[in-house]
Amino acid sequence: MSGKETRTSAGRRRGPMGHGGHGMPGEKAKDFRGTMKKLAVYLGAYKVPLLFVVIFAIGSTIFNIVGPKILGNSTGISSFWVLFSILLFGGLFGFAGMVLGVPVFAMIYSVISRMVSYGLRSRGLPQETEDYMGRTGPLSK
């Protein structure tokens, strides 16, 4: 054991700065209001850059919500499947997968949809989703 470390009464080691293990409480703030005032004075010189950061953060949040909806409307698939395809193909193929994932998934979705419609039509079954909804579900008539 080095000269900087000490042992607690339970026999656990404490570091050179006197910090305990992960479960021990940290030091409490002594003057929160004063610290916040000092921080506001310090950040006063950065008003314009902070304003740009806030504006871009709000814009980014809005576009992350609205973007998949717009892309889903233009490709014919729901926004859930747009996000799913971006995450799946992006995880598998990186940036190129994120760019090409939605069009490829839209083609796969179209092929599967046509196969299901053909199978239902060949058996003489209805092809509309509403015909298969239960009467007790939230989307029932």
Asked whether residue 11 carries a pLDDT value surpassing 80, the answer given is: no
**Given this model, what pLDDT does residue 87 score?**
92
Work out the percent of the chain whose per-residue pLDDT is above 90: 38
Classify residue 20: in a domain, yes or no. no
Classify residue 15: in a domain, yes or no. no
- Phi, psi of 96, deg, nearest 5: -60, -35
Classify residue 137: in a domain, yes or no. no
Classify residue 91: in a domain, yes or no. yes
Task: Supply the mean pLDDT for the chain.
Answer: 82
**Confidence band for 121, pLDDT divided at 50, 70 and 90:** very high
Three-state DSSP string of 52-72: HHHHHHHHHHHHHHHHHHHHH
DSSP string, the chain: --TT-EE-TTS-EE-TT----TTS--PPPS-HHHHHHHHHHHHGGGHHHHHHHHHHHHHHHHHHHHHHHHHHHHHTS-HHHHHHHHHHHHHHHHHHHHHHHHHHHHHHHHHHHHHHHHHHHHTT----GGGGS-SSSTT--
pLDDT in tens, 71-105: 888 888 888 888 899 999 999 999 999 999 999 99
Interval 30-58 mean pLDDT = 91
Look-up: residue for tokens 């609205």? 66
Total number of domains in the chain: 1
Classify residue 132: in a domain, yes or no. no
Classify residue 76: in a domain, yes or no. yes
Other CB atoms within 10 Å distance of the CB of residue 107: 11
Domain housing 99: 31-125
Classify residue 98: in a domain, yes or no. yes
CA dihedral 50, 52, 57, 59 (to 10 degrees): 160
